[in-house]
Structures are given as C-alpha cells and as structure tokens.
C-alpha cells in the first residue's frame, strides 16, 4: 500500500498548536526518523545525502585547532582516519557502569577508549574530550531534529518546529537504561520525549495497514524483530470488536528477547572470518600486531558489513582492501557456506526469542504456537538467509510472513503511537494495551521481604498505593525500589516534620505511612508521594489493618494536603524523600545543564565552521571567475585601467592568502573580501556595458535635470502632506481632534517606513553628486577629462539617484498608509459621536415619557380626591 494512501486513512492533521512531532526508531547501528506536523503528514526525515536511514552516532575528527563532528554518510571514512573518534552505536552502553564488560563493543569499535563519569557511567574519551553516552544520544537527536526543522522551513512551515519526540526502544530496557536514554533525549531544548515499546510499534503499523480483521475474533501474531543489536519477539493480539464503531484493540501479551543477538553479531562473524583469512595468507603478521592496528580493524569491519549484505543475495562475496596492514593488499572470497558454518552457535539463539514470547505470556489464557496466525518478520537482519532458514525449519514456511516493511514499519508505528500519547493530532481510533515484562516490588524499612507492586503483565501507566502497618519508631523510614528483584533506587523518608507532632501520646496506635507508587508511560517505577498518618483511635487502627490485608489499592485521589485531618480525626502529613541509587546514579540537573551548554557550543562552532567553509568556496570561485574575466580581450583592452589593475592585484593577493593564511579567518572577513572582488568586477562590467553611452555635456545636463527634478518631487511631496493636513484641520476640529497631532501619532509598518536616520546621508550624497555634475556642465571640452573619471562620476550620481528614488517611494507609501489610517480614525470618531447623540436622544425621550405618565397619574389622583400618604409621594 502506498504511504500516501495509508496516511489518508489513518491520520487527520488537526493540531491544537503549531508544534511538530518526531518519531524515532533508535536502532543500535542505524536510526530512522519520521516527521508529522500540520504541514508534513508522516514524512521520513532524510539524511543530507537523501538516505532514508541514518547512522546512530557520530565521529569526531581534528580540524585545525578544533574538533569537527561528522554525521551521516561521512562517518565511515572519518572512522578509518580517526578510529578513536568514533562515538558510534552507544545504545548498548546506556545505563551501564564503567566496570561492566564491553568486549563485544570494543571488538566492533577498535580504538575507542572509555572513561568513567562521576556517576560511574560510561563516557567515550576522544581527541582530548570526554563524552558521556547520554551526550552522544543528545547530539545525535539534536542533529536529527535540526534536519526535521529544516524540512519544515523548506515546506514554508516556519511556525512549525519539532517540540515532541517519540522514541522506540526494546521493552527489555531496564530502569537505568530508560533513565539514561531519557536524559540524553532531553538535552535538546524545548523538546518533550516519550518512550515507546518497539514491539507494539510494528504491531500498530501492521494493524492500521491490514484493516480487514474479522469482528469479534481475537487474532494472535508474533512480531519477530532482529535489528543490528538485539532480537525481540512480541506476542500481540489484534481484535476488531463486534461493534464496528469501537476502536481496534492491539494488546501486548508476551515477550522474548536476546539482547546480544543481531546483525552486528553476524557482521562480527564475517569480520572474524576475514581476519583469519588475512593471517593465514600472511603468516609473518602476528595476531597481536593486527589487533593493535585500529585502522585495519575498522576497515575489516566495514568490509565485513558489505560482505554480509552481499551474502544475503549471493553464494559468495569478494573482498578487496588496499594497504590493509603494513602496506599489504588483501583480497579474498568468503562463501555463504563458510559464514553459516562459522555462525552455527547462533542457530538455537535465533528461535529462542519466539519461544520466550510464548512461554512468558501475560494474562490467564495461554496462546499456543497453533493459535498464531503468522510470525511476522521485521528488522534488517531478518533478511539474512541463515535467520530465515532457522525460523522456517523450526516453525514452518507457512507461518513465516513478510508483509510489513522491515525497515520502516517501526518508525511509522512509533510516530502514530507518539501522536496518540501526546494527543497532538487526531488519528484513527486505536486502543493500545501495553504491559510490563518485568515485576516491580518495594522493600519497606529494609525488611528483606519485597512486596510486589506491579507484577509482570501489569498495564501501564499505572498508579497504586500501599498503607504500611502502624509503627511507634518514626525516626527511620526508607523504601527500596526493585526491578526483577534488583534494587535500583532507595527513598529515605524525611520524618523530621513529624518527630514532635506525632509523638506516642498524640498517636497512641502509632504512625502508618500511605505510599503512592506509579509505573509511568515511560515504564519508570517510582514513588509519587508519602503521607504519614497519626493513628489516634482504635477504630482507625482497625481500619488500617483491614486495608493492610487487602494489599495494594488503586489510587482514589485521597491524597490530602499538608497538616490535614481526615474524617476519622487522624492527622496526615505529606513527607519529602531523599533519593539514592545503589547501582547507577542518573544524570543530575547540573550535569544536564553542562552537557546541554557544551552541545550548543559545539553546534555554534559547527555552524561557524560550515559558514566559513561555504564562504571560502564562494570566495575561491569568485577569484577564479574574476581571473578568467580579466583574461578576456575586451576587458584587458577596453576596461577601466585603474580598476582592472586593482582587480588583478587583489586576485593574486587573495589566492595566496587562501593557500596559507586563511586558517583562522572569520565569516565577516570572508564576506568583506567576496564583496570587494564582486563589486570591483561588477564595476568593470558596468563600464564596458556603458561603452555606447556618450558621457558628454548633454548627458550630464540630463543627469542634472533628472536629479534636480527628483529633489523637487521630494520637497513637493512633503509640501503636499502639509497642505492636505491643513485642509483637514477644520473637519477634524469639529470632532474635537487635532489633525496634525493625530497624524504624527500614526506609524506605518516597518516594511513601508524608511530609516529616518539615513535620510540626511542620502540627501547629502545626492546634493554632492548634483554639485559635481553641475561643475562638469561648465567644462568647455569633455575631451580634457578621462572617460574613467566621467564614468566614476556617473556611477556616483546613479547610486545617489537610485537611493533617493527608493526613499521617495518609501515616503509616499508611508504617507498614503498614514492618510488612510487618518481617514479611518475620522470615520470611527464620527460613529462614536453619532452613537453618543443617539443615546442622549433616547435618554431625553424616556424622560419625556416618564414625565407625561407622572403628570397623567397626578391628574387621575386629583379627580378621585383620594388622599396620598407621604411615603407614596
């Protein structure tokens, strides 16, 4: 189905703001982004060289005394030249400690050095700088957002800018990984971020495109996604309710994964094959020597990636690398059979995620393999014959389906899911049920017994509360938060505010704590609030224990304000907590500010460098163009000798400057030199174009006449303005308005208003030009003056005449605007006075009517001679 047709059936662009949303399929090696705004419905964000996917990361390289960042297609060549500058594929490093094992990463990224941050997280050390993985993510996203905003600007949507980002991530990401990714994604300014289950994104895309689901039947699918870094299998049910007006339901029911199996592992196997072949062909090269040659290993890895792609469609692949190591050229052939035999240890791992999704199901009803409609393949690595062969042999060819776009289904689904969560646009109704694959529990006061808060399979976002047993010792209270049994965060409760208020005599039955816990849309588990409850009577104590027996309860908005008393008479105090992180501390606000500032400084330096490079190219082009122009016969023979000589000298001088002295130049300096060259060349061209002009006494007399007439027009225009205002004075006075004062108050729009401070300069230059032209009119013979001198005077006059003409045009436009506004003011004033008189007449008429009715009443009263009481009068 064509994307444009699908869009029309899924998305209605109705936005409450002018913001745009970016959907990002953030892959291990490659990422894809999709943009949606009121002016760009679901459009892929292409790279600078119009590719549909972009490299996840960047490479640093030295640039004079600075560091240059390389994104996109230039990464491969930059990585070969600077292996230690490769800030690539950091997704696998998010949320990890510096002392974890990273053997697989270093094998794929030789030359890259790690350094621990103050938080013990991973940072990449390169070219004298240290870059935390969160900053690399932030720079990558910031560059993508920049390209998306450039697309909006190109489509004349300057008011639209990306302000929301939805990022697809594996559901197996832990709390540490999620917090690290969010920290990096929030470094670009003015952008909100939400994390999306990447298994559901493909299912959403599939469900919206498929459309023909039988009403009332729940269909089960396994979405098998093998990317470059991991493999995930998501068991999803899709159901169209019997009532067709109700939305389609997409429900996440099971999950299996292998966090280390993916396309990068397959590429590494090909690289190992190539290294073995090279060492076999060149026995004089020791293994250690090759392993220490980072450039050689990078080139082998890049050749392995190309070879792997070739083997997906061919039985063999030729590899040719010039000067791989010690100036040795390497040429060999690898076969698909060699590759598959070398990768045999991966065969069982290929099917394990599917089995895991069926085994680790949520809910009561178990779905068997026989209930599965199809095993839908997505992700680039599923194209590998080895992968498809193993899946087909185990599950059967008839179950395998390839009816989604393996590359773009996830980013399309991510964007749609982001639209739903941010509620920025309207989409086709879809009910998405997401579930946690991990169990979240809490340990209160180091009791050692974790209480299950959100079991695996719990829907999220979700909120619940727990009431602790009353205690008499209120000086210490802490809560450990666990994910799959592992503590990742501890909240120490600040009980200082209640140590005196909630003493034993005031709370005879102790103090209970009501803890509100949540699982957010980003699947972050945390405490939303803690309240201390002074249990001061036996009835309340019984109620507390009754609630304890019922366990966790959904939050029913019973949270009370500080110091409030409940309906039972209990005193309630909201308490603050202090967070600590036993495993890995997340990024602080201060560090986030520092990294954002550093990232924006790099952006400014990149922009300046790019501007300088563009201007250098413009200057170089202008210089060679000028040099070729000077070599033309008519220029050398007929051009103004002084200007021709000056241009020739400057061309040689500037070209020499470009070769050795332009390293530390600025955009301003380059712009000045470009303007000098183009202006001088233009002056020569104009001189040659005016070769047929006589430049005699009659010509100069006409110039003087034209200039004088223009000055008179300007004076006449100003005089006419005064006459017009004087003519209107009496009419405005009748409306109690001073026409001159009202006219002066009016301001024309900026595009119609000439800058007043420049008027004197423009007029002075015109007067000077007229004076010089007038001098030449008195010459007895123009033959005594060089044509270059006459031409210079003509240029001076023409420039002044043009500037003054523009000034007069501006002044007339502004004058007309202000006079029209003055007319509108006059009309409004007339209407106000007319309404005032009408109200006055109405009031007078009402008074007359009241008077008449009163008089008539008095006459009637007197005729009946009924006495009136004082109060009635």
Q: How far apart are CA 95 and CA 643, in angstroms?
A: 66
pLDDT band (50, 70, 90) for residue 614: very high
- 337 lies in some domain: no
Say which range, 128-132, 439-443, 842-846, has the weakest mean pLDDT: 842-846
Q: What angle do CA 367, 434, 29 make, to 5 degrees?
A: 100
- Residue-wise pLDDT for 389-442, tens only, equals 999 999 999 999 988 888 899 999 999 999 999 987 877 889 999 999 999 999
| pLDDT the model gives residue 560 | 43
Strand pairing partners for 69? 60
> Which of the given ranges, 92-96, 544-548, 556-560, has the highest pLDDT on average?
92-96
The CATH number covering residue 88 comes to: 3.30.420.40
Is it the case that residue 870 has pLDDT exceeding 70?
Answer: no
CB atoms within 10 A of CB 229: 22
> Could you tell me the CA-to-CA distances from 403 to 1, 115, 238, 368 in Å, in that order?
11, 44, 16, 22
pLDDT band (50, 70, 90) for residue 566: low
Question: What range does the domain containing 79 cover?
Answer: 3-261+350-430
- Residue-wise pLDDT for 788-844, tens only, equals 888 888 888 888 888 888 888 888 888 899 889 888 988 898 888 888 888 888 877
| Domain identity same for 401 and 444 | no
Is it the case that residue 350 has pLDDT exceeding 70?
Answer: yes
> Which of the given ranges, 212-216, 658-662, 774-778, has the highest pLDDT on average?
212-216
| pLDDT the model gives residue 635 | 86
| pLDDT the model gives residue 859 | 46
Q: Which of 686, 708, 729 is the last residue of a domain?
A: 686
| pLDDT the model gives residue 858 | 46
**Total number of domains in the chain:** 4
The model's pTM is 0.79
Is it the case that residue 447 has pLDDT exceeding 90?
Answer: no
Q: Mean of the per-residue pLDDT values for the chain?
A: 87
**Can you read off the two tokens belonging to residue 851?**
């008077």
- Residue-wise pLDDT for 473-513, tens only, equals 888 899 999 999 999 999 999 999 998 888 888 888 889 99
| Domain identity same for 544 and 679 | no
| Domain identity same for 550 and 611 | no
SS3 625: helix
- Bigger pLDDT: 831 or 134? 134
- 336 lies in some domain: no
Q: What angle do CA 473, 475, 479 make, to 5 degrees?
A: 95
| Helix-helix angle 759-777:697-734, to 10 degrees | 140
| Domain identity same for 577 and 677 | no
| Domain identity same for 564 and 666 | no
- 311 lies in some domain: no
Q: How far apart are CA 518 and CA 33, in angstroms?
A: 30
SS3 704: helix
- 723 lies in some domain: yes
| pLDDT the model gives residue 141 | 97
Question: What is the Cβ-side half-sphere exposure of residue 136, based on CA atoms within 13 angstroms?
Answer: 29
- 313 lies in some domain: no
**Can you read off the two tokens belonging to residue 784?**
């005594």
| Domain identity same for 515 and 659 | no
Is it the case that residue 551 has pLDDT exceeding 60?
Answer: no
- Residue-wise pLDDT for 622-649, tens only, equals 999 999 999 988 888 888 888 899 999 9
- Residue-wise pLDDT for 74-94, tens only, equals 999 999 999 999 999 999 999
| Domain identity same for 612 and 739 | no
| Domain identity same for 8 and 92 | yes
The CATH number covering residue 476 comes to: 2.60.34
Burial of 463 from C-beta contacts in 10 A (0-12 / 13-18 / 19+): middle
Is it the case that residue 274 has pLDDT exceeding 60?
Answer: yes
Is it the case that residue 120 has pLDDT exceeding 90?
Answer: yes
| Domain identity same for 11 and 133 | yes
| pLDDT the model gives residue 245 | 87
- Bigger pLDDT: 365 or 113? 113
| Domain identity same for 61 and 132 | yes
Residue keyed to tokens 């020597």: 289
| pLDDT the model gives residue 546 | 55
- 860 lies in some domain: no
Question: What is the Cβ-side half-sphere exposure of residue 791, based on CA atoms within 13 angstroms?
Answer: 19
- 614 lies in some domain: yes
Q: How far apart are CA 81 and CA 563, in angstroms?
A: 65
| Domain identity same for 704 and 744 | yes
Is it the case that residue 152 has pLDDT exceeding 50?
Answer: yes
| pLDDT the model gives residue 567 | 44
Is it the case that residue 303 has pLDDT exceeding 90?
Answer: yes
Say which range, 265-279, 341-355, 356-370, has the weakest mean pLDDT: 356-370
Q: Which of 587, 616, 631 is the last residue of a domain?
A: 587
- 642 lies in some domain: yes
Backbone angles phi, psi at 340, to 5 degrees: -70, -35
Q: How far apart are CA 363 and CA 797, in angstroms?
A: 88
Q: Which of 397, 430, 463 is the last residue of a domain?
A: 430
| pLDDT the model gives residue 556 | 43
| Helix-helix angle 667-689:589-630, to 10 degrees | 30
Q: Which of 20, 17, 52, 16 is nearest to 36 (CA)?
A: 20
The CATH number covering residue 661 comes to: 1.20.1270.10
Q: Are strands 231-239 and 248-258 parallel, antiparallel or unpaired?
A: antiparallel
DSSP for 341-354 reads HHTGGGHHHHHHHH
| Domain identity same for 426 and 444 | no
pLDDT band (50, 70, 90) for residue 63: confident
865: left (phi over 0), alpha (psi -120 to 50) or beta: left
- Bigger pLDDT: 66 or 519? 519
Is it the case that residue 861 has pLDDT exceeding 60?
Answer: no
Contact 511, 452 (CB under 8 A): no
């Amino acid at each position: 189905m064509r994307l444009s047709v699908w869009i029309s059936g899924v998305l209605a662009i109705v936005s409450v703001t002018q913001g745009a949303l970016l959907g990002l399929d953030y892959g291990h090696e490659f990422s894809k982004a999709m943009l949606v705004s009121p002016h760009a419905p679901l459009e892929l964000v292409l790279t600078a060289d119009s590719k549909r996917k972009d490299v996840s990361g960047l490479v640093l390289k030295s640039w004079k005394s600075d560091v240059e960042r390389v994104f996109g297609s230039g990464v491969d060549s930059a990585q070969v030249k600077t292996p230690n500058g490769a800030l690539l594929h950091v997704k696998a490093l998010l949320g990890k400690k510096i002392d974890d094992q990273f053997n697989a990463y270093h094998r794929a990224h030789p030359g890259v050095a790690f350094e621990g941050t103050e938080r013990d997280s991973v940072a990449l050390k390169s070219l004298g700088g240290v870059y935390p993985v969160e900053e690399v993510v932030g720079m990558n996203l910031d560059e993508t957002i920049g390209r998306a905003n450039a697309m909006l600007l190109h489509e004349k949507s300057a008011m639209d800018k990306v302000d929301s980002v939805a990022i697809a991530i594996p559901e197996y990401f832990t709390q540490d990984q999620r917090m690290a990714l969010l920290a990096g994604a929030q470094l670009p300014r003015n952008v909100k971020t939400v994390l999306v289950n990447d298994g559901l994104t493909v299912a959403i895309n599939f469900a919206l495109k498929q459309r023909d689901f039988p009403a009332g039947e729940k269909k089960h699918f396994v979405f098998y996604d093998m990317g470059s870094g991991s493999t995930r299998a998501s068991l999803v049910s899709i159901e169209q309710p019997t009532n067709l007006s109700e939305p389609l339901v997409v429900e996440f029911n099971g999950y299996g994964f292998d966090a280390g199996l993916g396309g990068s592992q397959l590429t590494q196997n090909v690289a190992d094959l190539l290294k073995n072949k090279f060492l076999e062909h060149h026995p004089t090269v020791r293994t250690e020597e090759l392993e220490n040659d980072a450039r050689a290993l990078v080139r082998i890895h890049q050749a392995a990636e190309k070879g792997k792609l070739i083997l997906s469609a061919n039985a063999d692949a030729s590899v040719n690398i010039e000067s791989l190591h010690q100036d040795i050229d390497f040429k060999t052939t690898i076969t698909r059979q060699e590759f598959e035999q070398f990768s045999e240890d991966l065969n069982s791992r290929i099917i394990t995620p599917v089995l895991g999704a069926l085994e680790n199901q949520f809910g009561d009803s178990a779905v068997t393999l026989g209930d599965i409609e199809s095993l839908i393949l997505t992700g680039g690595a599923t194209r590998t014959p080895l992968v498809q062969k193993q899946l087909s042999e185990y599950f059967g060819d008839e179950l395998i389906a390839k009816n989604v776009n393996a590359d773009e289904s996830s980013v399309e689904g991510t964007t749609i899911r982001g639209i739903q969560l941010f509620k920025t646009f309207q989409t086709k109704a879809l009910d998405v049920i997401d579930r946690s694959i991990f169990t979240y529990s809490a340990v209160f006061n180091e009791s050692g017994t974790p209480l299950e808060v959100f079991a695996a399979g719990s829907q999220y976002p979700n909120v619940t509360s727990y009431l602790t047993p009353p205690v008499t010792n209120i000086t210490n209270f802490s809560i450990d938060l666990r994910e799959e049994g592992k503590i990742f965060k501890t909240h120490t409760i600040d009980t200082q505010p209640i140590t005196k208020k909630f003493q034993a005599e005031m709370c005879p039955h102790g103090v209970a704590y009501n803890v509100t816990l949540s699982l957010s849309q980003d699947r972050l588990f945390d405490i939303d609030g803690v309240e201390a409850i002074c249990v001061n009577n036996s009835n309340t104590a019984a109620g507390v224990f009754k609630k304890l027996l019922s366990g966790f309860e959904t939050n029913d908005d019973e949270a009370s304000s500080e110091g409030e008393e409940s309906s039972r008479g209990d005193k309630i105090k909201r308490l603050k907590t202090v967070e600590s992180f036993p495993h890995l501390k997340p990024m602080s606000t201060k560090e986030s500010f520092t990294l954002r500032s550093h990232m924006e400084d790099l952006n400014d330096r990149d922009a300046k460098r790019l501007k300088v490079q563009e201007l250098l190219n413009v200057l170089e082009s202008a210089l060679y163009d000028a040099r070729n122009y000077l070599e033309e016969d008519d220029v050398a023979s007929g051009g103004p000798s002084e200007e021709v000589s000056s241009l020739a000298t400057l061309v040689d001088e500037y070209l020499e400057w470009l070769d050795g002295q332009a390293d530390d130049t600025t955009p301003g300096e380059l712009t000045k030199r470009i303007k000098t060259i183009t202006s001088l060349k233009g002056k020569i061209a104009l001189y040659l174009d005016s070769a047929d002009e006589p430049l005699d006494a009659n010509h100069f007399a006409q110039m003087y006449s034209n200039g004088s007439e223009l000055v008179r027009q300007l004076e006449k225009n100003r005089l006419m303005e005064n006459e017009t205002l004087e003519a209107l004075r009496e009419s405005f006075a009748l409306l109690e308005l001073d026409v001159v004062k009202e006219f002066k108050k009016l301001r024309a729009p900026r595009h119609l208003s000439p800058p007043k401070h420049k008027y004197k300069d423009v007029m002075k230059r015109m007067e000077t030009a007229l004076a010089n032209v007038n001098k030449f009119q008195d010459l007895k013979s123009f033959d005594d003056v060089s044509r270059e001198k006459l031409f210079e005077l003509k240029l001076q006059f023409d420039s002044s005449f043009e500037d003054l003409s523009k000034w007069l045009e501006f002044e007339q436009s502004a004058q007309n605007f202000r006079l029209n506004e003055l007319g509108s003011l006059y009309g409004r004033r007339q209407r106000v006075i007319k309404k005032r008189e009408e109200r006055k007449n109405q009031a007078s008429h009402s008074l007359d009517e009241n008077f008449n009715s009163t008089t008539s009443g008095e006459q009637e009263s007197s005729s009946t001679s009924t006495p009136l009481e004082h109060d009635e009068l």
